[in-house]
Structure 1
């Protein structure tokens, strides 16, 4: 496991890169909405730190510069808040995709407040989650 002892580090092991895991986020219909963000998530039965990816619609924002700027603001918000607002779910791993659905490029404070509210809602749902019995 990665050394994430420093409070504000965001190592590559926390980034969601697996195409299978990303595809499963979209087949599974579990999501949290808090403007300007839509949060899609899965709970996997393996132990580990939460993995995360960020997305901004190419249809809404044609310029790659603007899309990357929004993703950087989302990443920075997540990097500063995830340890405070995402609970430890024991021997399970949270896989998360943050999707920016706002129509305009909002400032950092609005993105961060939306992200914190979405994380709190995610915590509430994760606490209510019971794994399916086979």
Structure 2
């Protein structure tokens, strides 16, 4: 998996986003929350489709929200190859910023690594439970 965040890796389908929020599972590592759903994607070489979101509730100005989204996308882009190379089933992700303070890039990267570790642990736990039953 390369370090780019191409158009085909971005989550844009409204149907898939609605399905993600209705049927998806969550993992949290404050100030981030990951909503994920194993799904079948049209692109064979894309293991993950990802979207990012920041609430207007705490960040009224668009400039602030866009800055946080950029930090989230950059932290995701640099760390995705570390965590998702061995992913067997395609997933849809939505990463939500749930904090109320503006983060630095270092804080965002640490939170993203913690979030991805929790996701990997949750998926390994779920697959091991399925194998045992």
Output the TM-score relative to the length of structure 2: 0.86
Equivalent in 20, 23, 36 of residue 25 of structure 1: 20
Q: Moved runs in structure 1, 4+ residues, more than 3 A?
A: 45-48
Output aligned runs, 1:1-134, within 5 Å. 7-46=2-41, 48-90=46-88, 92-130=89-127
The alignment partner of 2:37 has SS state of: strand
- Could you tell me how far apart the structure 1 residues matched to 2:85 and 2:116 are? 9
Partners in 2 of 1:29 and 1:94 — Cα distance? Answer: 10
Distance 1:80 1:89 in 2: 17
**Is the partner of 1:60 in helix, strand or coil?**
coil
Unaligned runs of 5+ in 2: none
Distance (Å, rounded) in 1 between the aligned partners of 2:20 and 2:113: 20
Question: How far apart are 1:129 and its partner, in Å?
Answer: 2.8
Structure 1 residue runs of 5 or longer lacking an equivalent are none
Structure with the bigger percentage of helix: 2
The count of corresponding residues between Structure 1 and Structure 2 is 126
CA RMSD of aligned residues (A): 1.9
- What secondary structure is seen at the aligned counterpart in 2 of 1:40? strand
> TM-score w.r.t. structure 1 length?
0.86
